[in-house]
Amino acid sequence: MGKLLIVGTVAFDAIETPFGKTDKILGGAATYIGLSASHFGVESGIISVVGGDFPKEYLEMLNKKNIDTSGVEIIKDGKTFFWSGKYHNDLNFRDTLITELNVLADFNPVVPENFKDCDFLMLGNLHPAVQMSVIKQIPKRPKLVVLDTMNFWMDNTLDELMDVIKKTDVIAINDEEARQLSGEYSLVKAAQVIQKMGPKYVIIKKGEHGALLFNKGKVFFAPALPLEEVFDPTGAGDTFAGGFIGYLASTHDISFENMKRAVIYGSNLASFSVEKFGTERMESLSHQEIQDRLQQFKELTQFEIKLK
Amino acid sequence: MGKLLIVGTVAFDAIETPFGKTDKILGGAATYIGLSASHFGVESGIISVVGGDFPKEYLEMLNKKNIDTSGVEIIKDGKTFFWSGKYHNDLNFRDTLITELNVLADFNPVVPENFKDCDFLMLGNLHPAVQMSVIKQIPKRPKLVVLDTMNFWMDNTLDELMDVIKKTDVIAINDEEARQLSGEYSLVKAAQVIQKMGPKYVIIKKGEHGALLFNKGKVFFAPALPLEEVFDPTGAGDTFAGGFIGYLASTHDISFENMKRAVIYGSNLASFSVEKFGTERMESLSHQEIQDRLQQFKELTQFEIKLK
């Protein structure tokens, strides 16, 4: 069983979808990643920053899931990062209504002593300078470093981002970001170009169209589970990443064969996350539900054809 | 081994993609379906109509592939259906430049005597009145009737189309068409609604994002093979349908398990079709190439996870 360290946002989200809207609820990349990974029973810790307005109950809830929050700095006279967004009828599209960086603007991450020997490091979507600071604080390189990022950092801090990319084993980005980063339209070619930048493994997330895992000449595809209703897509990508690295950490096996299983688990967890607002479904999810859904993934994708 | 009857267009296409352009070349739904199905060694026949300008060599090429063209009427003083289109850099989008119906405008299909006992009937995308005429000429209902159609007929001849849909076992349409036909955005719900219209099996084609096969509570997903280069998507949907029904006809097994294999074969054949302009790749394709690619589909999708 590996020790997992996660750096990312812990935040307030206010979400509006065609099915309803929320006030400020618990959100943030590290929150979704940590909750998702917690279903694999790994020892994990979050590095983040929140304001004095952040409810202690949220941190206690994470602690109950065996997520160490000693690396979550609390700035008493500051305000927690807040994001508000509204989804279109086509949930693939959303408008950001509010982004208040607040305490995140001056975030100076500190790796707790008891996580300096982490085996698995998940760099959630954040300023690449913050991601690099965490990498540099860990004396012995972790077994696996996984990076999530987005087009905003490609547009504004590309040099710093490229330095981080060089130091990662796995990059997980969406199809448009892969195209932007590589300059290639074909995702196969994009993955080839990105592998030359550093990461040996490239995961391209296509939302409701599933995710592709590339390594050298190999490619594996994890579909998204076709759902009757997608209620709230917020955090689905982070939940996917959390399921991916959580499964790898729990099995301590980073072979390509095991990464296949890990992307299936990522897709599995993400399919639950979108069923309710925010982190609600992730908090209540049981081991049996995950196993049942795994059976659905098998039925969805597995076939028998004899080669002639 | 089942006998397969295909009704659909046999046409001239002129295609422009970011990678080049063609003069008038062989095209048409029935052409692509027939060529794709021919790789399974089935006895098949095409019902269509062409003009006096249609080269005999094209018909001879189809005959060499064991495709009966006695049902292809030749109107000596007429001109063959002609379509011209230009693809965007994103090959998912194209503009139709020219549509000349020509002899297709008065197409009156006649089922040849030797195909009145067909076991498998493929209704290619055409006016629903033409599709219905073919259904009515077959005295004993075939083992399986597969329908392709498009939004144009939903917009303009919905009542006639619904009558055809009622009489089919499998409908194969794309995601936008499934949404339009059902009034449901969720593809899972769309498939449920469409099954109530008649077809027990619904195939929703998502182009580069693969295809979903629905039957009652069951769903199976066949991904598209991630390709370095898509050269020309023309006919990919028809090639998919041809591979699907060709495999079913060759195995004479219409169980859900076998339909899973059939959509994988459909996706397999389509992945070749897009590698070159028009029907070129379909004409040169070997059995061994199909088997090798099947192995790639296995590597792309198959995983081992023990349920706990």
Decide the pairing of beta strands A25-27 and A94-100.
Answer: unpaired
Question: Mind telling me how many Å the CA of A20 is from chain B's nearest CA?
Answer: 17
Closest residue of chain A to B193, computed from CA coordinates: A228
Q: Do residue B260 and residue A303 have CB atoms under 8 angstroms apart?
A: yes
Single out the residue of A71, A62, A217, A248 nearest to residue A146, CA to CA: A248
Q: Are A62 and A271 in contact (CB under 8 A)?
A: no
**pLDDT confidence of residue A90:** 84
Q: Which residues pair with A172 in a beta bridge?
A: A148, A203
Domain ranges of chain A: 3-301
Chain A partners of B220 at a C-beta cutoff of 8 Å?
Answer: 299-301, 303
Q: Do residue A308 and residue B291 have CB atoms under 8 angstroms apart?
A: yes
Question: Mind telling me how many Å the CA of A91 is from chain B's nearest CA?
Answer: 10
Q: Are A207 and A224 in contact (CB under 8 A)?
A: yes
> How many residues comprise chain B?
308
Question: Mind telling me how many Å the CA of A290 is from chain B's nearest CA?
Answer: 10
**pLDDT confidence of residue B308:** 61
Distance CA B43, CA B95 (A): 35
Q: Is B57 on the interface with A (CB under 8 A)?
A: no
Q: Do residue A261 and residue B298 have CB atoms under 8 angstroms apart?
A: no
Q: Is A216 on the interface with B (CB under 8 A)?
A: no
Distance CA B94, CA B101 (A): 19
Q: Is B54 left (phi over 0), alpha (psi -120 to 50) or beta?
A: beta
**pLDDT confidence of residue B109:** 98
Mutation for testing the B interface, residue in A288, A305, A308 having most B CBs under 10 Å = A305
Distance CA A261, CA B198 (A): 38
Which residues in chain B land under pLDDT 70? 307-308
DSSP A104: G
Please state the φ and ψ torsions of residue B11, each to the nearest 5 degrees: -150, 175
The token pair that represents A263 in the structure block: 């992307």
Ordered alpha helix ranges (H), B142-279: 151-156, 158-166, 175-182, 187-196, 236-251, 256-273
Q: Are A164 and A131 in contact (CB under 8 A)?
A: yes
CB atoms within 10 A of CB A105: 11
Single out the residue of A40, A58, A32 nearest to residue A3, CA to CA: A40
Mutation for testing the A interface, residue in B302, B305, B307 having most A CBs under 10 Å = B305
Chain B partners of A307 at a C-beta cutoff of 8 Å?
Answer: 291, 294-295
Measured at the CA of A292, the angle between CA A291 and CA A297, to 5 degrees, comes to 90
Q: Is B230 on the interface with A (CB under 8 A)?
A: yes
Chain B partners of A300 at a C-beta cutoff of 8 Å?
Answer: 219-221
Taking CB atoms and an 8 Å cut-off, how many pairs form between chains A and B? 92
Decide the pairing of beta strands A82-87 and A11-17.
Answer: parallel
The token pair that represents A251 in the structure block: 């099995």
The CA-atom distances, in angstroms, between B190 and each of A178, B174, B257 are 31, 11, 22
**pLDDT confidence of residue A170:** 98
Distance of CA B60 to the CA centre of its chain: 21
Single out the residue of B247, B201, B33, B237 nearest to residue B122, CA to CA: B33
Q: Do residue B302 and residue A304 have CB atoms under 8 angstroms apart?
A: no
Distance CA A16, CA B72 (A): 56
Distance CA B104, CA A44 (A): 66
Q: Are A225 and A267 in contact (CB under 8 A)?
A: yes
Question: Mind telling me how many Å the CA of B94 is from chain A's nearest CA?
Answer: 16
308 residues of chain A, pLDDT tens digit each? 789 999 999 999 999 999 899 999 999 999 999 999 999 999 999 999 999 999 999 999 999 999 999 999 999 999 999 999 999 988 888 999 999 999 999 999 999 999 999 999 999 999 999 999 999 999 999 999 999 999 999 999 999 999 999 999 999 999 999 999 999 999 999 999 999 999 999 999 999 999 999 999 999 999 999 999 899 999 999 999 999 999 999 999 999 999 999 999 999 999 999 999 999 999 999 999 999 999 999 999 999 998 66
Chain A partners of B19 at a C-beta cutoff of 8 Å?
Answer: none
Is the CATH number 1.20.1600.10 carried by domain B3-301? no
Distance CA B144, CA B241 (A): 13
Average pLDDT, chain B: 96
Q: Is B90 on the interface with A (CB under 8 A)?
A: yes
DSSP A209: G
Chain A partners of B287 at a C-beta cutoff of 8 Å?
Answer: 308
pLDDT tens readout for residues B138-171: 999 999 999 999 999 999 999 999 999 999 999 9
End-to-end CA distance of chain B: 42
**pLDDT confidence of residue A308:** 62
pLDDT tens readout for residues B46-66: 999 999 999 999 999 999 999
Q: Do residue B298 and residue A304 have CB atoms under 8 angstroms apart?
A: no
The token pair that represents A212 in the structure block: 């592709």
Instruction: Give the distance between the most distant pair of CA atoms in chain A.
Output: 70
Distance CA A226, CA B189 (A): 10
The token pair that represents B298 in the structure block: 């296995």
End-to-end CA distance of chain A: 42
The token pair that represents A253 in the structure block: 């096996």
Q: Are B29 and B238 in contact (CB under 8 A)?
A: yes
**pLDDT confidence of residue B1:** 77
- The amino acid present at A119, given as its one-letter code, is D
Q: Is A167 on the interface with B (CB under 8 A)?
A: no
Chain A partners of B212 at a C-beta cutoff of 8 Å?
Answer: 226
Distance CA A105, CA B301 (A): 42
Of A226, A228, A302, the CB nearest to B212: A226
Mutation for testing the A interface, residue in B195, B256, B265, B301 having most A CBs under 10 Å = B301
Distance CA A280, CA A251 (A): 26
Question: Mind telling me how many Å the CA of B13 is from chain A's nearest CA?
Answer: 25
**pLDDT confidence of residue A92:** 84
